[in-house]
Amino acid sequence: MPFQRSFSDLIFKRYSCRHYDPGQTSAEAFTRLDNYIHTLPPGPFNVPGRFRLVLAGGVDRHGLRGLGTYGAIKDSPGFIIGVTSSSNKDLEDFGYRMELVVLKATDLDMGTCWLGGSFTRSTFSKKADLTKDESLPAVCSVGFPAAMKTTDEIERARKRLGWETLFFMNDFASTLSSEEAGVFADPLELVRLAPSARNCQPWRILKAGDVWHFYLQRTKPYHEFVVPLITGIADLQRVDMGIAMSHFEMSARSTGLSGAWVVNDPGISLANALMEYCVSWVPG
Ligand SMILES: Cc1cc2nc3c(=O)[nH]c(=O)nc-3n(C[C@H](O)[C@H](O)[C@H](O)COP(=O)(O)O)c2cc1C
C-alpha cells in the first residue's frame, strides 16, 4: 500500500477542507500525488476511468481560471478531475478509486473536498476532454489547508449515524454490535466515518454467515432520477457506496483480512422501498 500512514489514521485525519492557503503550493507533494494518480489500481468492478490533477501553476499553467465551484471552495490551488466510462457499477467504481486519491492527498498532509454538485460541470468536462461515452460524476479540490484542523476539532465537527442505524445481522430488524462484528469492527467503523454527498451516509451493511452484504439506503430526493436528468448531477449516492467499499476493503486488507467483492443478492427482505442491494464482501 503506497501510504506512509495507516489507513485508519488517514480516515480519522480526512475532513472536507473548503479553504486553502494559496501561498503553500509544495511542488513535491503535488508531484507525488500526480505520480500516485498515474499508478492508481483498478476499482472492484474494473470500469475504465481517468483521473487528472490540474493545478493553477506548474503542471497546468492556465490552470483553474474559469473552473467554477459556486463559492463553495476558497483558494484551491488544484483539483482532481475524475472521469468514468458508462458501465454497470461505474459510479461505485469511480467513488472507490477517487477516494484512494483523496486518502493519498491526506497522507501528503493536503486537504481535499469532494464536489459532486458545487462545480461547473461544463468547464471541468472541457478540461478533462470528456468524450460522449464518458461522464464526470465529481471532482475534488486539493491543496494545503488555510488552517489545518486538529484531530479534536475534526472529531467534534464530525456528524455520523450510529452503528444501530447502519449495521445489521441476518435481517434488518436485528442490529449488529461491535462485539458481534469481531475483527470486522474496525472496517465497519471506518465505513461509518466515510464522507458522503450531503452527509447522507446511504450505506447499510448486513452480516449473514461470514458474508457482508452492502445495501444502498437512498435518501428521498436522490430517489427521483428526474433530479440527475434535469441538473446533470450524477447519482452521488452510488459514488458514496464506492467510497464506503474502499474504506471497508482497505481497512480489512490492512489488518490481514482478505476477501473479494461479489454481486450476488442474497434475497434478504429489504427494510423499506428506498433500499436496494449493491454488493457483498466474501472473506477468504
Ligand atoms: C460524492 C460526494 C459529493 C459531495 N459534494 C459536495 C459538494 O458539491 N459541495 C460541498 O461543499 N461538499 C460536498 N461533499 C462533501 C460532504 O458534504 C462531506 O463529505 C460531508 O458533509 C461529511 O463531512 P466531512 O467530509 O468533513 O467528513 C461531497 C461529498 C461526497 C462524498
Please identify every stretch of the chain with a pLDDT value under 50, giving residue numbers as ranges. 59, 61-63
Superfamily of 159-283 according to CATH: putative nitroreductase (tm1586), domain 2 (3.40.109.30)
Q: pTM of this prediction?
A: 0.95
* Grid-cell match 503506497, residue found: 2
pLDDT at 195 (0 to 100): 98
**Is the CB of 139 within 6 Å of ligand 1?**
no
φ, ψ of residue 71 to 5 degrees: the values are 75, 0
Place of cell 454481486: 263
The DSSP symbol for 20 reads B
Report the pLDDT value the prediction gives residue 85, as an integer from 0 to 100: 95
Q: Locate the domains of the chain by residue range.
A: 7-151, 159-283
Task: Decide whether 7-151 matches 159-283 in CATH topology.
Answer: yes
Taking CA atoms only, the protein residue closest to ligand 1 atom 25 is: 16
Instruction: Establish whether residue 158 lines the binding site of ligand 1, counting it when its CB lies within 6 angstroms of any ligand atom.
Output: yes
User: How far is residue 245's CA from residue 243's CA, in Å, rounded to a whole number?
Assistant: 5
Q: Does the beta carbon of 126 lie inside 6 Å of ligand 1?
A: no
Write down the pLDDT at residue 61: 43
| pLDDT of the residue at 225 | 55
CA–chain centroid gap for 126, Å, is 23
CATH code at 7-151? 3.40.109.10
